[in-house]
Amino acid sequence: MTTEPTGSVPPPATGFDVAAIRKDFPILDQLQDGKRLVFLDSAASSQRPQQVIDAMAELYQHSYANVHRGVYRVAERATREFEGARVKVAEFIGAPSSDEVIFTKNATEAINLVAASWGRTNLSSGDAIVLSLLEHHANIVPWQMLAAERGFEIRWIPVTGDGRLDLTDLDRLMDGAKLCSITAMSNVTGALTPMDTVITAARAAGALTLVDACQSVPHMPTDVVDMGADFVAFSGHKMLGPTGIGVLWGREALLDAMPPFLGGGGMILNVTTEGFIPDGLPAKFEAGTPPIAEAVGLGAAIDYLGDIGMDAIRRHEVEVTAYALRKLTTDLGDSITIHGPAEPSARGAVLSIVLDGVHAHDVSQVLDEDAVCIRPGHHCAKPLMRELGVTATARASFYLYNDDDDVDALSDALIKARDFFAI
C-alpha cells in the first residue's frame, strides 16, 4: 500500500547542518557523470567520515601491533586503543561493563555466536523460540540450522498490512518459549518494533530476548539496560564505522555461563594435552587476532556520532522521512507504492518502493544514471517479501548526511524511470 504521512513530527533538529556534515565524507564530494552523488543506501552500509579514515590510518602508521600480549610500547599503545574502543561501545549503548561487549566480525556472526553457544546448550526437542516475519536472514537462518539439529519449534510473529508486527497473539506465541530473537527495526519496511511490549511479554513467559539492532543503533539513542534485552547485536559498517567489525552485547551472567564459540589463541586461560580452560569475558568469545584497526575505526565513528548527538540524528531522519513520504506520494501518485508505516515517527528512514510495472533492479539502474544510489532486491528478507506480495523492492535509505535535496533528486529520478518504462 502507498503510505500517506500522518500525525505529528518531532521538533526540528535545530542546528543540524547537513552541508557541514557532508564535507566530512570524502566519497560524497565527487561527481558521477557530472552529477552530485546522492547516496541512499545506508541501510546496507553507511559511508565513513574522514575522522574514521584518519583514526585507522593513524593506528596503522604509528601504533599498530597485535594486542594484549605484547609488552613493548607500540603493542601497549595498540592494546589501549583497542580496549578504549570497547569502552566507547559500552558507553554508547549504556552497557554496565565493557566486559559485556564482545567484538565480532558483524552482527551476523554475533547472532550465530548466541545460536551456537547459548542455543546449542539450552535448546532441544520440545522447546520453542519466537522470531518475526520482519527478520533479516541473519536472524532466521542460524536458528533454522540449529532447529534442524536440535528439533525445537520456531514460532513466527506475523505482520500487518502496513509492515508492522502484529502483536495480537503475542502472549500465546511466547507461552513456553525459551527465546525471542527479534529486530528492533525492519530493514525493509522501516517499522520500529515496540520493544517494551515484546520484551515484557518474553520476560513474563520466562524467555530471553536477543535484539537485532543493526538498523536502530546507528540512528537513535540506545540503552541496553533500559531496553531490558538479554543480548543485542549490531554492525559497525552501518554506523559510519568500517566493515569487518560487529558487536554482541550480553548480560554478564549469561555470557559467563555460555561455552566458547570459537577456539584458538586469545580465548584461553590455559591449555594442556588433556584440555583447556577458557579465559574470562570478553576474551572467551574473541579467539584469534581481533579486528584491531576496525575496532579503533568503530570507536572513532562513535565519537563522531556522539558529537552530533543521537537524539538530533533521529529528529533529522524523521524530518527527512516525513518529507520523502509527502514528496514521493505527491509527485508519483498511484504509480508508486511505499511499504511500511505511514507515521514517520513510527519508522526508520527506510523506504521500500515499488514503481508500478517496473522491476526494482531496472529502477536502480536507471537511477544510477542520475547518480542516485539505491538498493534493489529482497534485502535478505524473503519471508517478509512473500508476505508483502512482492519479489523485490527499490530501497532508499537516509542517514545524517542526507537532506531534502536528496529526496528531490530521488523523486526526479523515479519520475524519469517511470516515464522511460512507460514508453
All three cell numbers of 398: 537516509
Other CB atoms within 10 Å distance of the CB of residue 4: 12
d(CA 84, CA 93): 15
Element (H, E) at 89: helix 73-93
380 assigned to active site: yes
CA proximity to 115, closest of 266, 278, 201, 233: 233
All three cell numbers of 341: 508505516
Active-site entry in 180, 214, 373, 380: 380
Task: Estimate to the nearest angstrom the gap between the alpha carbon of 129 and the chain centroid.
Answer: 21
Written as one letter, the residue type at 315 is R
All three cell numbers of 132: 518475526
DSSP code at position 291: -
Written as one letter, the residue type at 274 is E
CB of 319 closer than 8 Å to CB of 379: no
| Angle, vertex CA 193, rays to CA 188 and CA 196, nearest 5 | 170
Other CB atoms within 10 Å distance of the CB of residue 153: 14
Q: Are strands 153-157 and 128-132 parallel, antiparallel or unpaired?
A: parallel
Q: Are strands 246-250 and 268-272 parallel, antiparallel or unpaired?
A: unpaired
All three cell numbers of 62: 604509528
Active-site amino acid positions = 380
